[in-house]
Structure 1
Amino acid sequence: MTIDMSRDKDVTLFIPRAKYVASCSAVESGARLPYKLNSGASICMMRSSSSISVYIHQEASKMVVGGDNRRLVPAAFVAAALVVVFLSPAAEASLRAGPFESIFAFGDSFTDTGNNPVVFGWYNVFDVVMRPPYGMTFFHGVPTGRNCNGRLVIDFIAQGLGLPLVPPYLSHKGSFRQGANFAVGSATGLNSSFFHIGDGPGANIFPLNISLQVQLGWFEELKPSLCQTDQECKDFFAKSLFFVGEFGINDYQYSFGKKSMKEIRAFVPDLIQTISEGAERVIGHGAKTLVIPGMIPSGCAPPVLVTFADADASEYDATTGCLKEPNEIVMLHNSLLRDAIDKLRAKHPDVTIIHTDLFNHVTDMVKSPEKFGFKKDALTICCGGPGRYHYNLSIVCGDEAATTCEDPSTRLFWDGVHLTEAAYHYIAEDWLNTIVSSLSARASS
């Protein structure tokens, strides 16, 4: 059975293979849901290497799913189940076969699952993400080092592909056979030395020395423990999914206030070249499937809005309340990144290189927050201090004086530039479909 989920209309799906249970607590402990459906029902999913089991707690055996952003099952993990069961025969076969055995990721706080506290410890910098309310939504209130109230996009992707959450390289003590996360919050794509040119005594230590190049070095340190011969490594990494990014938000954030917009625009091509070279480097190690994300609209991020609080009214986009010029830099970044990805695809036709979007998703959520279940004041963060957008440089999320919104799922932004689990949820749904579609295209070519 194939359902075109891109149609902009509601469809009713019947799941004949689903198992109906009294409650999701009756499902094996490996089921990381429930998520509530529009009817008040719950859905749980279990995935093994050979099968998908969908458990539904409801009176009837039907549920309503809407196309595009009107989908009434708002869970990326649930969407993964629907993708497997309903998307297309090729995609279904691809996921059932278990296309990936591991995930390796490079990036910043949009991807970091726990390296940040270790790195900050090296520099004797206290990391507020290790205090509540970080982790409040999914991790039983226990901070994990994620800059979020719950899961990130990469967490949803891992769950949707039937893999464990990707462990942080610097703090995980177990095996990395199923993947490793090298991303670190506050990381830049460009080497940190670029941002410290001309620094005098007492200058800000940020950005730290945790750029993409450093993270690639950690990956190459780990590699001998995963495989030895060239062929063994090619075979191993051919079954891995690689995330190269998101990079850029910190490169530009650290430059605002220190450089002119013209100077910032000038180094955008250098950053894109660095990301492209990073992708080439992992391809050289045998990677066959890469995800390279674009950037969020930084002109919508509350920290950037506060940085330019004295901007003239004409400098804001009237439809979003976001700053135009920072977003124009991001649009340049994303455009050049797409061009670089096209060149990589042409150079490596046997490698699947997937470009994923952040800019349009976040822009849509800012423009039409209620469509996603968010409150109208979309630029107001959930966790922060007194001030416009609930963002305060002196009282940040995790500080004793900070306050947290009652329901993070009603907010787009969590603590500043970072998004809530609910927002990542929607984004992950699209990314997972993009990944599956790319695998399907590769399988049929």
Structure 2
Amino acid sequence: MVLARRSFFTKSVSIPGSLSSSGIVEDEATGHGASTPEDHNILFVLGDSPFDAGNNLYLNESNYPVASYPYGYTYFSNATGRVCDGRILPDFIAEYANLPLIPPSLQPGGDFYYGANFASSGAAVLDSDGSSGLHVLNLKGQVIQFKELVAKWNETLGADTTRQVLAKAVYLFSFGGNDYHNYYEKFYDEDSSPTPLEQEQFVKYIVGNTTDALIEMYELGARKIAFQNVGPMGCLPECKTQFPKFNGSCIPDLLSMPTLSNKELNKTLTDLAERLEGFKFSIFDYFIALMDRIENPSEYGFVYGSTECYSDGNLCEYPSAYVFFDEGHTTQCANEQLAKLFWEGDLSVTSPYNMKQLFEESKG
């Protein structure tokens, strides 16, 4: 079957958005009775396309690339806004934590009793200066939405209970990849490359802005942070296609910047844990886990590690044989493997806590 080709590395317009419901007050849709979110696990998700559960459907109703088949067909039988053939990593984390699927924050009438997913495809740490392409919620917009939810919970639960709920929750993040892609793209278009010093300075700027957002959320009550670090951007099929002068090889600068960023993030979160009372974190080494599957697909049950199932409108027969579903995003099968590592992986891949341990800390 031949379908239209999809691309997600586009300039974007940052849109604050608005939550439609607090999901706390009992009604026919929720039916939660008198219980409050403090009675169960809670998961908040912030990030970019690997974590988007459908927000961009509501921001780009008329032209969103993944609003139709074959996206979603493996599990949902229809497109949900997830950039995948089925479930994404946060869906599996929710399952392991005995939670339902966490709804996108822009979903009309959304039930946010168990948390909310603020992630948006194309989102970056920095606000975009683009004037065309997809509308997205960048990091700032996602934090604004989180603050709106907190304000509504303050009204319905009271400030003290809300802070208890927020301290209990786990916050799952994925940011940075689009920033490094967009930064490198500017140099490539001028037939140049960022120097090592320029890369280091930009990485510190991105991680610094990310840290500011984390501290802002900490001040609102967030305590348990789980971060998927930046993946091997330079080995994504889409990047190899977009930057052809490397003749199909991985793009060095889009490997070096994520590597620098991941080291800086680990250093920064370790520092925050030492300075901020009650702050705990988990970092999943997505870079290593995904790269290993790209380079050694057969060791993980895949046939194809560096080509995608859905390319130039052509859909493969068996998505589970592929690490990548489209040029920039992994299949449901790969997502499940990665989620298991994030959930219960040892210190070699997820540290200093894994997500299972973070949720257990919430019960303590």
Sort the TM-score into its range (normalised by shorter chain). 0.7 to 0.9
**Which residue is equivalent to 1:249?**
177
**Which residue is equivalent to 2:110?**
174
Once the two structures are TM-superposed, the CA of residue 256 in structure 1 deviates from its matched residue by: 3.0
Q: Which one of 163, 169, 173 corresponds to residue 240 of structure 1? A: 169
Q: Which one of 353, 356, 364 corresponds to residue 292 of structure 2? A: 364
Query: What one-letter code is carried by the residue in structure 2 that aligns with 1:261?
Result: P
2:250 is the alignment partner of 1:290: no
1:276 and 1:340 in contact (8 A); partners too = yes
CA shift in 2, pair 1:442/1:186, >3 Å? closer
- Please show how residues 8-157 of structure 1 align to structure 2 within 5 Å: 100-121=40-61, 126-139=63-76, 141-157=77-93
2:103 and 2:111 in contact (8 A); partners too = no
2:333 is the alignment partner of 1:411: no
Once the two structures are TM-superposed, the CA of residue 411 in structure 1 deviates from its matched residue by: 0.3
1:413 and 1:419 in contact (8 A); partners too = yes
Once the two structures are TM-superposed, the CA of residue 230 in structure 1 deviates from its matched residue by: 3.0
2:230 is the alignment partner of 1:327: no
1:352 and 1:442 in contact (8 A); partners too = no
Once the two structures are TM-superposed, the CA of residue 288 in structure 1 deviates from its matched residue by: 2.3
Query: What one-letter code is carried by the residue in structure 1 that aligns with 2:123?
Result: A
**Which residue is equivalent to 1:303?**
238
Q: Deviations over 1:373-427 (max 9, x none)?
A: 111x411101011xxxxxxxxxxxxxxxx11111101100111111001111111
Cα distance in 1 for residues equivalent to 2:80 and 2:50: 14
Query: What one-letter code is carried by the residue in structure 2 that aligns with 1:103?
Result: L
Task: For residue 226 of structure 2, give the secondary structure of its aligned residue in structure 1.
Answer: strand
1:289 and 1:351 in contact (8 A); partners too = yes
Query: What one-letter code is carried by the residue in structure 2 that aligns with 1:271?
Result: I
**Which residue is equivalent to 2:132?**
205
Once the two structures are TM-superposed, the CA of residue 170 in structure 1 deviates from its matched residue by: 0.8
Structure 1 spans left out of the alignment, 5+ residues: 1-97, 197-203, 386-401
Cα distance in 2 for residues equivalent to 1:306 and 1:287: 39
CA shift in 2, pair 1:265/1:335, >3 Å? same
CA shift in 2, pair 1:404/1:298, >3 Å? same
**Which residue is equivalent to 1:436?**
356
Cα distance in 2 for residues equivalent to 1:224 and 1:441: 25
**Which residue is equivalent to 1:18?**
none
Cα distance in 1 for residues equivalent to 2:169 and 2:238: 35
**Which residue is equivalent to 1:261?**
194
Q: Which one of 100, 118, 121 corresponds to residue 185 of structure 1? A: 121
Task: For residue 225 of structure 2, give the secondary structure of its aligned residue in structure 1.
Answer: strand
Cα distance in 1 for residues equivalent to 2:39 and 2:89: 19
2:95 is the alignment partner of 1:162: no
Cα distance in 1 for residues equivalent to 2:134 and 2:78: 27
Cα distance in 2 for residues equivalent to 1:114 and 1:255: 26
Once the two structures are TM-superposed, the CA of residue 439 in structure 1 deviates from its matched residue by: 5.2
Q: Which one of 159, 164, 175 corresponds to residue 230 of structure 1? A: 159
2:45 and 2:116 in contact (8 A); partners too = yes
CA shift in 2, pair 1:309/1:127, >3 Å? same
Q: Deviations over 1:244-267 (max 9, x none)?
A: x21111112223331342355532
Task: For residue 231 of structure 2, give the secondary structure of its aligned residue in structure 1.
Answer: coil
2:309 and 2:322 in contact (8 A); partners too = yes
Q: Deviations over 1:126-154 (max 9, x none)?
A: 11211101011110x21000000011110
Once the two structures are TM-superposed, the CA of residue 307 in structure 1 deviates from its matched residue by: 1.9
Once the two structures are TM-superposed, the CA of residue 209 in structure 1 deviates from its matched residue by: 5.5
CA shift in 2, pair 1:113/1:442, >3 Å? closer
Query: What one-letter code is carried by the residue in structure 2 that aligns with 1:307?
Result: Q
Cα distance in 2 for residues equivalent to 1:339 and 1:220: 27
Structure 2 spans left out of the alignment, 5+ residues: 1-37, 188-192, 345-353
Once the two structures are TM-superposed, the CA of residue 269 in structure 1 deviates from its matched residue by: 0.9
**Which residue is equivalent to 2:32?**
none
Once the two structures are TM-superposed, the CA of residue 222 in structure 1 deviates from its matched residue by: 1.9
Once the two structures are TM-superposed, the CA of residue 100 in structure 1 deviates from its matched residue by: 5.0
Q: How many residues are aligned here? A: 309
Q: Which one of 214, 217, 220 corresponds to residue 147 of structure 2? A: 220
Q: Percent identity?
A: 28
Once the two structures are TM-superposed, the CA of residue 298 in structure 1 deviates from its matched residue by: 0.4
Query: What one-letter code is carried by the residue in structure 2 that aligns with 1:368?
Result: N
TM-score, normalised to structure 1's length? 0.65
